[in-house]
Amino acid sequence: MANDTIVALATSPGESAIAVVRLSGPSALSIAARRFQGRRSPERSPSHRILFGTFLSADGSPIDTVLLSVFREPRSYTGEDVVEISSHGGRTIPRAVLESLIACGARPARPGEFTERAYRNGKIDLAQAESVAALVKARSDRAARAARATLGGALSRRVAELDRELVPLLAEVEARIDFPSDVGEAFDGRALAARCAALAAPVREWISKLPSARRREEGLRVALLGRPNVGKSSLLNALVGYGRAIVSETPGTTRDTVEESIWVDGVELRLTDTAGVRNPASPTAGPVERLGLERTDRAARGADLAILVFDRSDFRAEADRTAAALVEDRPVVVAWNKADLPARGNGPSRPAPESLGLAARQLLAEVETVAVRPGGADLLLGALRSALPHLLGTASGEEIAATSARQEVLLADIAAALERAEQGLLGDESYDLIAADLTDARRLLGELVGRGVDQDVIAAVFSNFCIGK
């Protein structure tokens, strides 16, 4: 039911200094009033006020002292009456507040239901609603900034601009259908085709920027790869700054993949330490090792960037080349580790990257490291920092936000429709078909911001949210 009053914990559950329970709907103020004891009742409070008092359980016993914020419709997140109750955090108090409100008639909210109500009440369009999820998910400052811009209507404005240019174009083509003689020779198919191309170009450019926008939103996945015992786990620990992964002299200690994040220049790097790469057909490879290798493989395939680690003091052509092969065509930073040790044997201690099957364009940097020495991974950290613009694009002007999968498909379809119209105009196709393509492009543009989107799609968008948003 759209008109009931919903409630959810808006902050993440678990130990925290404070927690916020959010209530929205026509009875938000009256329900809150029945559980709140303070100098002023929420029902008599003006909008945008904070009340101090005691929150009561269903049996009237005090749960906690709280701050209660009152937002009256329509000046609230959802557009309805909203009450936010800030209590102490932790596992018990917020749950008790929630239960007390539910006992009083509020219904537990579905995922994304607050934002869905904001959308349905016309506070935001669908693109803005989707950016709320993106904003909360963002794993870099730039992604957060871009999502905030979308929330502020940047994407909606882009859509409106494209549409504004599309409308007269469509009108001209339609005029040709309706009154062919009126337009006559003045009708210039080539000029119109050029206008279609000029509309498709920014959409294509937009699409081309999405992969780096996606990386900014999700953070960079960085896999540490190399044969056993070269110092991958030690390097992860050095980067993270404490003993996260088990380091051992016994090769093959890391069987599972270990994930740890570091933030570099406002970007989350999601480091994955992997089991060393050995020949999986080796007779010594037991089932656990095989599993570890499968996970290594998966981490390598999912990585945006590989840190390929070699033991500079002990390069082993075959095993090290097997590890290098996992990198495939991904960007790579090579770490020549154990730079403190003298080279063993008499081969070259640092073979050329090309001899390892790495292409010059994928090799972002080569550095020497001493994972076990304080500061010994600083060069690696510096190389990662320098690699960021390459992987994430340089910041320039208005930041492109990662779109939802739904929007990405729409953008591709819009570009395709515009290009079909362009080709049609150049090929003297029937104006009905050209008009249909342009009409399609307009409809798809509208769908980007939620116009004419059917209920199932809207439900799917909000089901991806978490509860309380």
Ligand X SMILES: Nc1nc2c(ncn2[C@@H]2O[C@H](COP(=O)(O)OP(=O)(O)O)[C@@H](O)[C@H]2O)c(=O)[nH]1
**One symbol per residue from 325 to 344: x for binding ligand X (CB under 6 A), - otherwise; what is it?**
------------xx-xx---
Closest to 414 in 3D by CA, of 174, 213, 158? 158
Tell the smallest beta-carbon distance from residue 155 to Mg ion (Å): 43
- Judged by beta carbon, residue 252 or residue 331, the one nearer ligand X is 252
CA-CA distance, 5 to 419, in Å (whole number)?
47
154-188 burial by CB neighbour count: b if 16+ within 10 A, else e? bbbebbeebbeebeebbebbbebeeeeeebeeebe
Total of residues contacting ligand X (CB under 6 A): 21
What is the rounded distance in angstroms from the CA atom of residue 410 to the CA atom of residue 415?
9
Q: Mask 262-291, x = binds ligand X (CB under 6 A)?
A: --------------x---------------
The Cα angle at residue 94 between residues 93 and 100, in degrees rounded to 5: 90
Contact string (CB under 6 A) for ligand X, positions 236-255, x = contact:
-----------xxx---xx-
| C-alpha Rg value of the chain to the nearest Å | 29
* Residue 56 · residue 100 · CB < 8 Å: yes
From 25, 79, 112, 231, residue interacting with ligand X (rule: CB under 6 A) = 231
Q: Taking every pair of C-alpha atoms in the chain, what is the biggest distance, in angstroms?
A: 88
Kindly tell me which of 35 and 227 has the beta carbon lying closer to ligand X.
Answer: 227
**Contact between 233 and ligand X per CB under 6 A:** yes
Provide the token pair at 89: 């955090």
Instruction: Please count the other Cβ atoms lying within 10 Å of the Cβ belonging to residue 75.
Output: 11
* Three-class DSSP category at 19: strand
What's the closest the beta carbon of residue 258 comes to Mg ion, in angstroms?
Answer: 8
424 binds ligand X (CB under 6 A): no
- The least CB distance from residue 281 to ligand X, in Å, is 20
Region 169-228 residues binding ligand X, contact defined as CB under 6 A: 226, 228
In the complex, what is the shortest distance from the CB of residue 313 to ligand X, in angstroms, rounded to a whole number? Answer: 8
CB 331 → ligand X: shortest distance, Å?
21
- The entry of ligand X, Mg ion, none that residue 340 binds, CB within 5 to 8 Å by partner kind: ligand X
Applying CB under 5 A, which of residues 69, 78, 233, 237 lies at the interface with Mg ion?
A: 233
Nearer to ligand X, 174 or 256 (CB): 256
| Nearest-angstrom CA–CA distance, 188 and 192 | 7
Q: Which of 87, 254, 272, 403 binds Mg ion (CB under 5 A)?
A: 254
Render 50-89 in DSSP notation, one character per residue: EEEEEEE-TTS-EEEEEEEEEE-TTSSSSSS-EEEEEEEE
Q: Which residues would be at the binding site for ligand X (CB under 6 A)? A: 226, 228-234, 247-249, 253-254, 276, 337-338, 340-341, 370-372
Q: Which residues bind Mg ion (CB under 5 A)?
A: 232-233, 254
